[in-house]
A = this chain, B = another copy of it.
Amino acid sequence: MSQQSPSPRTEVRRKPQRAHHDPATIRAIIDQALVCQIAFNQGGSVHCLPTACWRDGDFLYIHGANNSRLTQTLLEDECAVSITHLDGLVLARSAFHHSMNYRSVVIYGRFEAEDDPDAKAAAFKAFVEHASPGRSAQVRPPSRAELAGTRLLRIALDEAVAKIRNWGVEDSVEDMAIPVWAGVLPLSLRAGPVQPEAGCAEREPPTLPTFIGFFTRCNG
């Protein structure tokens, strides 16, 4: 994935100052995602479904059961994959200038299947590590039957674009005297308090990915 020029599909016409095409920015947004949304056509209709995701190299990975309609459909046609992090409410003095801070990525292309058992085992290990670093060494790895029954798909990040809004309020000058609180209310995904299975409470709790903070100790 090298530095790209926008394609007709990844050129941002609406608020182009928010667009980013550099791979590092796109990867960083993907790397904080646990779920993506996939838009695809099937049966004469457009669909949009969420699924878990992770990145390895220049590909975004998803998985599904071997007999799933979704994964079969995705192999047959192009799709669009969207990832969005909602980072804050931008609360202005006028209703009109309210906004949201966010980081989003859209990927265009077609998924391909990765059927090699070793590659699948490595990818699913990376998936577990993405959700809880260090965990893959502690859990039972997939059996051959489990690997065989699960389809691994990946899509190249070759045609992708990021959009970011990460700044403050943009009120008009004539609204600045309105005596209301204005500013940004940051939002983030937080974890906790943990809900251990019976017999697990005394064990070392799971490690979180760096992009998710705990809030256990305060208002859990």
Contact = CB atoms under 8 A, between A and B. Distances in A.
Contacts of A88: 195
A201 to B, nearest CB: 8
A62 B209 CA distance: 32
A212 interface: yes
A39 to B, nearest CB: 3
A4 interface: no
B200 A92 contact: no
A197 B183 contact: yes
B215 A219 contact: yes
A117 interface: no
Count this chain's copies in the assembly. 2
A183 B169 contact: no
Interface string A38-82: 111101011111101000000000000100111000000011111
Contacts of A14: 65, 68-70
Contacts of A195: 88, 168, 183-186
Interface in A160-191: 168-169, 175, 178-191
A211 B13 CA distance: 33
A185 B192 CA distance: 6
22 contacts: A34-B86, A37-B84, A39-B48, A39-B80, A46-B79, A48-B48, A91-B131, A91-B206, A93-B140, A95-B124, A95-B128, A96-B146, A98-B128, A184-B195, A185-B191, A186-B195, A188-B190, A190-B190, A213-B215, A213-B219, A214-B219, A217-B219
The 6 closest A-B pairs by CB, nearest first: A218-B218, A39-B39, A39-B48, A48-B82, A183-B196, A190-B190
Given A38-B48, A50-B102, A93-B140, 11 more contacts: A37-B48, A45-B108, A89-B131, A89-B191, A95-B139, A96-B142, A98-B131, A132-B185, A168-B195, A184-B194, A187-B191
